[in-house]
Chain A
Amino acid sequence: MTEPLLKIERLSVGFRTDGGELKAVDDLSLTVYEGETVCIVGESGSGKSVTSQSILKLLGRNGIIQQGEIRYKGHNLLGTSEQELRRMRGKDISMIAQEPMTALNPVFTIGNQLLEAIKLHSKRRRREAREYAVELLRRVGIPRPESIMNDYPHALSGGMRQRVVIAMAIASKPPLLIADEPTTALDVTVQAQILQLLKKLQKDSGTSILLITHDLGVVAEMADRVVVMYAGQIVEQADVDALFNRPLHPYTQGLMKAMPTIHTQTDEGEDRLISIPGNVPMLNHLPQGCRFHPRCPYSQPICRQAEPPLAAGNDKHLVRCWLTIPTETIQQAAGGIAI
């Protein structure tokens, strides 16, 4: 295969807090190829947003990238100067934020904010830029784009704002689009429209999308490949079909069971949703061994003692679970831990 567009290798990201440094992302590697949609799935606090923010180094003042490499077209972003990085933001890699209600600056018009995005990375003249802005708004499906240009964000609905945010993000036709829960704050019907829009834009321009979500429905709709995160680590990574057909990690299996469908029924025949017991562990109180073991229905003694490696199953299906590793291998490696 060709060189990946984005290659994250062994990335660890920490946060400075009053209680010391916390590791929000631990040893994460993933790749995004051209034209592909990769989804990162996980609960709140699993480190998925932090991963997406560290790509453009937009972590905020307390975030520190502790180790690893982030390569965009072979070029290490972590070694890039702030100035050069700024030129890449919006031009090579764009971000779509989670909350359309707060992602737009309330005191500037839509046109002002859109034109800013356009002018930063192109030499268009005023009128040309304005025409292009209107064209962008039309492309993301905003009715009456000329008059919307003069409106302030508060006059727009959540769905419309998210379309504006998308229009800003695609203004410079970036090869990579990072979308951090782009539909979480929206109504279900609007969600579907926004996902359709992203798909269409991807088809038209061949953009790669790194999509962060906690919604497996969105994953099924959008993803080519899926990365499942838990407590800062990747626990499973696979092509979308492989993952949905045969989820290997108990956490992924739990997520799938927790997904409501029309046919959801328990063994007793009741219409009840299954949930994964417990919560995502606090980063300063990570359990020993496998981070998922306190919530895992198949937990073994070894799960409490040692952290499982992220190992390849068949094909490129990666999973971090002792259950998927043959007992002999474990015994050899662990030197006789009782199982």
Chain B
Amino acid sequence: MLPYLIRRLVISVPVLLGISIISFVIMKLAPGNPVDMLIDPNTPPELLQAKKEMLGLNSPFAVQYWRWLSGLLHGQLGYSFSSYAPVAHIIGERIGPTILLAFTALLTGLLISIPLGIASAIRHNTAFDHTMTGFAFVGLSIPPFFLGLGLIYLFTLKVHWLPTGGMSTLGEAGGFGDTIRHLILPAAVLAVGIVGKKIRYIRASMLDVLGQEYLRTARAKGVRESFVIYKHAFRNALLPILTVFGTEIPVLLGGSILVEQIFQWPGIGQLTMQSILSRDYPTLMALNLVAAIVVMISNLLTDILYSIADPRIQYR
């Protein structure tokens, strides 16, 4: 297992390098540049030129990339073009809220979709099953921005139970309860999407397992039905489910861009949006790197979990 992990980590280095080159190229090819975004267009061109020179935007492409890369190798992610704060510091500030949001959504999604998916499979082709499949379809098809606005309308404007956005009430001490109140709506929007997708996966995976011969063996031994389902069947149904939950983490990160925007959640998603709009190259490069690392780590994590869950899979 350990040699396998080391190999996987070593392989990831050239992959990350490739990703960084590609994203650098795409970023540079995109129209507009940071100076145009930052400064009033009526400023004299000499000043704009000086500003560009200062930010190092006049050097050849390869030199700019090399500067970024050697900075990275020295542990420097550079400074933001728009706020002049160290990028590492900005991201460090934003990553906490995003992790909180993503994992609340993932956990909620799991806790709802697993029992419902299993129940749906057990009651295959009954009214309950059809209702669940219908709900899953709605959850899957409803656009997050629409759901988000709908929830804000309902829970904030109509019944005044929850805040419209942000992470804490302005002018108050905040605290745990306050954060939770702000977390509910954005997490719910992300969770609905997860539940919609996962109910179907879990149902299908469970249906596959329910026809297996070893369940008859278990029943023939005298195992009680709940054990047959939750011990014998679910452990096997878990295998394909694990794979899709692993890939769900990067999707959550992408989904949070929209949701964080709607609910002004001060996380990575919102930062990404702001950085794109202001062509903040150093921040964007760092965000790309973070996203690539998250994808790789979740894939690796999935593989490791898979080998733990399924004894037939061994990595050498």
Interface residues of A (CB under 8 A from B): 53, 56, 58, 60-61, 86-91, 94-95, 97-99, 102-109, 116-117, 120-121, 152, 154, 165, 168-169
Contact = CB atoms under 8 A, between A and B. Distances in A.
B224 interface: yes
Given A97-B213, A99-B213, A102-B212, A107 B309 contact: yes
Contact of A87 (B219, B222, B310): B222
A94 B220 contact: yes
Given A107-B235, A152-B312, A154-B311, A86 B212 contact: no
Contacts of A56: 219-220
Contacts of B312: 106, 152, 154
Nearest to A112: B231
A89 B222 contact: yes
A322 to B, nearest CB: 39
Chain B interface main SS type: helix
Contacts of A107: 235-236, 239, 309-311
Contacts of B212: 102
Interface in B71-122: none
Contact of A97 (B217, B223, B239): B217
Contact of A105 (B214, B224, B309): B214
Interface residues of B, number: 21
A100 to B, nearest CB: 9
A89 B214 contact: no
A89 B223 CA distance: 8
Given A107-B235, A121-B222, A168-B221, A102 B311 contact: no
Contact of B220 (A90, A99, A102, A108): A90
A222 B200 CA distance: 48
Contacts of A102: 212-214
Contacts of A99: 213
B222 A105 contact: no
Given A104-B214, A154-B312, A86 B222 contact: yes
A105 B224 CA distance: 16
A89 B214 CA distance: 15
B235 A108 contact: yes
